[in-house]
Structure 1
Amino acid sequence: MNFVHIVPFVLHLLFMSLKFHLLTAEIKRELISNEQVFTYYEIGFIYLSMFFLLIGYSIASLYHLKIYNSELNRKFSLRGKMKLTWLKFVIFGFIIICVVGLFSFILSMKGYQIIIFRLISVISIFVFSNVIVYYGLKLPDLFSGIEEKPSKQKYEKSALPPEQLRRYLKKIVRCMESEKLYLNPLLTLQDLAKKASIPSYYISQVLSRCLNKNFYDFVNGYRIEESKKILTNDSGVKKTILEVLYDVGFNSKSTFNTAFKKYTGMTPTEFIRLQKSS
C-alpha cells in the first residue's frame, strides 16, 4: 500500500502539466515571458493542498508514534535511549514550520514581502533536517523498525487455552526468577522466548491475558522488587541509588525513579527514608 503515498504527487504533477500543455503555443510563450504560468487562485489551491497534506502526514506520524511506543514496551525490557519524546517535538516543530510557511504565503499573496517569515521557514527546515540526521546517526535502532505485530484476527486464531496459558506463565516466571534474566539491561522479548523455549508472540499473549502487562512492565516489576531487597539490605553493605539501579538492570536514573514510583507509590529516596524510620 506504500504506492498510495505517491498519488498526491502524481495528481499535482498532472494538474500542473495539463494546465500548461493544453494551452496554445502563443499563450505558453506569453506566460513564460511574464513568469506567470498559474493564476493566484491556482497557486493558492496548490499551496493549500500541500499544506493540508503535510499536516495530515504530521498527524498520522503522531498516531503511528503512539503505536510504535506501545510496540517498544511490548518487545523491550528497557527503553533507555529508545525514548521518543524528542520525535514528538520534531513533529510539532514541523507543524509550526508549515503554519509559518502558510502565513508567509498568505501575506505574499496580498502583496506583502516579509523576509523574516521566509527566513524562519528556511532556518526551521534546516534545524529539522539536522535533528533527524543527528538522531539517525546516534540511535540507528530507532529507524530499523519493529517486527510486525500479529493481526487481531491471527491473534484470535492463535489464542492459547487457559491451561496452556498457565503452563507457559509458570515456565516464564521460573525462567525469570531462576536465571534472573531481568538483571540484563538489554533483555528483549526474543531473549526471554529463547530461554523459555516459547514463541515470542505467545509470551506477549500470556503476559497480556494472565497478568494484564506488557513485556516492559513485566520485567521492570522484577527489577523494582530486586532493588527493594538491595535497598533494605541489613548486611552492612550500603549502596547508592545509582549503584542499585545499575545492579538491577536499569541504565537511567530517571527511568528507574519513574518505574520505582509506579510500582511502590514513592521515590527510591522516600522508600529508604521510610525503611529507616520503621
Structure 2
Amino acid sequence: MLVLLLVNSSYQAIFPFFHQLFTPLYFAAPACFFLYICHFIGPRKRLSRWEWLHFIPAAMAVMHVIPWPFSPAINWSAILAQIVENKQLFISEKSGLLPASLYYIGRPMLVLGYLLATWYVAFNSKLLKAKEKQIPGKKWILLFLKAATFFQLISFLPLLAGTQDRTFANSIFVVIGCVVLLAIVVFILHRPEIFYSYLFTPADGSAEEHVAKDFVSVSKAAVPLKEPLTLVPASKKVILLPDQSSAYASLMVSFMEKDQPFLLSDFQIIDLAGALNVPVHHCSFVINNVIDKNFRDWINGYRIQHFMVQYPLYAHKKTIEAVAHESGFKSLATFYNAFKKETGLMPKAYFSQKKVS
C-alpha cells in the first residue's frame, strides 16, 4: 500500500528505497502464510529445520536488492510506469542483481503455489468439516484463509483485462478491494469474539468461550488460595502448563490481597497484566479457567468482600453508596448487582439478617 501511495504521490523520489526494502517481504509473505496455517492446524509450534527452506526465495530477494558494485543500472521510471499499469505483481524491467523473471514470473508462481498448498493442507486436515470444538479457532483461521486468498487473487484482476481496458480493470480492482475490506471491518465490529486469543483479548476478560476450556477449574471464588492450584488437563490444546497456571493464579491473588488494586474503579485486566508483567491473554486464561470467573465478576468479588468489612465500621457516618464507591464500584447498579450475586441478598437485607443472627 505504501509503494502504491508513493507511486501516485509527489514523493516518487523515495519510491525506489521502499520498493527494494519491501521486495524480500513480498517473497517471504507466501511462505509465512502457508506456515502459519500449517502450524495453527497442527500441533507443532516451532519451525523444523527443513521448513526454513521455504525462505530461500526471500533470501534470494535480499541478494537481489543489495546494491552490489557490479549490479546493473536500474530504470526506475520504467518500473514506476509498469506498477501504475499492472500494479506490483508483474514488473518486467530489471530491478536488481537477478533477472527480471524473478519478479514477473517467480513471484506470481510463488503466490499461486503457496495458495494451492495452503488450501490443500486445510482440506487434508479436515478443517472445513471439523466442528468448532475439535479445532479451536476454526472461525478465525477460515476468515484469515479466505480473506488472504481473496486479496491475493484479486491482484491478478488487472492482468486478465486486455490492454484497452487495463485502466478500467485497475479501478474495478480498487473498488472491489475497498468494498470487501469494508465488509470485513463491519464483520469484525459485530463478531470480535472470533479474534479472542489470536489478535486481541477483551479488556473485561470475557473470552472464556473462545480461549477454550482447556483445563478443568478447581477454584470457584475470589478468596485466598490456601493450597497451590492443580489442574486436570483436558483433551484440547493448552496455552499454559499446569504449574505455570498455578503460579500465575497465586501471583494474581497475592497481588489483589496485598495491593488492593480493585479499589480503583477503572482497574482493568490490562492493568493487572502490566503490574505483574504477565501477558494479558495469560491473565485472562487463568481467571477464566483456573479461578473460573470472568475478570469483572472476580474483581467485583474482592470489592464486595471489602465493602462487607468496611460498612459495619462506618455505617454510623457513611451511606451504603459512599462505602460502595470507596470499595471500587463506579456505579450503584453495578454494586447492587454484584452484591446480590455474591450474597443472594440486597445490602440492607443482608446486614439486617447478620444482626439477627
| TM-score, normalised with respect to structure 2 | 0.36
| TM-score, normalised with respect to structure 1 | 0.45
Bigger share in helix = 1
Question: Which structure ranks higher in relative contact order (CA pairs < 8 Å, sequence separation ≥ 6)?
Answer: 1
